Amino acid sequence: MVSRTALLVVAKAPVPGLVKTRLCPPATPAEAARIAAASLLDTLDAVRSTPGVRPVIAMAGDLAVATCSARLRNALRGWTVLGQRGDGFPARLAAAHADTAAAHPGLPVVQIGMDTPQVTPALLTEVCQALGSADAALGLAEDGGWWVAGFRSAADARLLRGVPTSRADTGARTLAALRAAGLRVAAPPRLADVDTMEDAWRVADSLPNSRFAASLPVRTSRAGGASGDCHR
C-alpha cells in the first residue's frame, strides 16, 4: 500500500524517575515507567495497524536504559526514528513535524503522543482522512490540552511553537492559533490523556485486555502491585 500520511509519535523513553512522575504516588517510579512503556507499546501497535501510513517516532531520552527497552526496540523495527530537538516542548513539537516532513517529503503529518493508549487504527485513519479536505486536524483532550495534531502541509506545524503546553487552555489556544492563520481545522473526537493515576484507571477500564491495563497497580494499593511486563 502506498503511504499517504506520515504518522508521528512524539515520545519519551520510559526511564524510571524521568517519566510519568505525576503518577507517583500511588505508583512508584519503577511502576510509572512500566505504565509509560505499556502505553507507548499499545500506541505503537495502533500506529502499526493503521493502513496507508509511514510510522515515525521522535524520541527523547535514552531508550537503551528504558523499561522494556528490548521490547520497544523490536516494536520500532521499520520505523523512522528521530531524536527530539529544540528549546522547550513547543519547539520540540514543531521540530518533530519539520524533521518528519524532511524524512518523508510531500506527506501530510499526523502527530500523537504516548498518553492515549486507547487510540485505535480506525480513529487514526479518520484523522488522516480528514486532511484530505481540511488543512489541519486538532483533537482536544479532556484536560484542556490536545491529543492529536495533523497538518496537510507540515510547514503549518510551526504554529505549535507559539503555544505554551501543559496548561488548561492549551487546546483552545492551539485551535485559536490555527484558525487565526486561516487554516480549516477538522475536529477529531475528544480523548482522555493519561496524566494522573485516576486518568490511568479510567482509561484502563475501557481497555481491560490491553498491555496498558495489565501494567497498572491495584487500585486499593498506594504502591506496589503492578503486574504488567514487557512480553505481551
- Phi first, then psi: give them for residue 159, nearest 5 degrees: -65, -25
The model carries a pTM of 0.92
Q: Which of 51-55, 213-217, 218-222 has the highest mean pLDDT?
A: 51-55
Average pLDDT of span 75-84: 97
> How much is the pLDDT for 224?
42
What percentage of the chain exceeds 70 in pLDDT? 92
Instruction: Please state the length of the chain.
Output: 232
Range name among 29-38, 122-131, 158-167 with the lowest pLDDT average: 158-167
Is the Cβ–Cβ distance between 123 and 189 less than 8 Å? yes
> How much is the pLDDT for 225?
44
Nearest to 66 by CA among 112, 21, 30: 30
C-alpha 20/C-alpha 200 separation (Å) is 11
The answer on pLDDT for 218 being more than 90 is: no
Supply the angle between the helices 121-130 and 29-48 in degrees, to the nearest 10.
60
Higher-pLDDT residue of 137 and 207 is 137
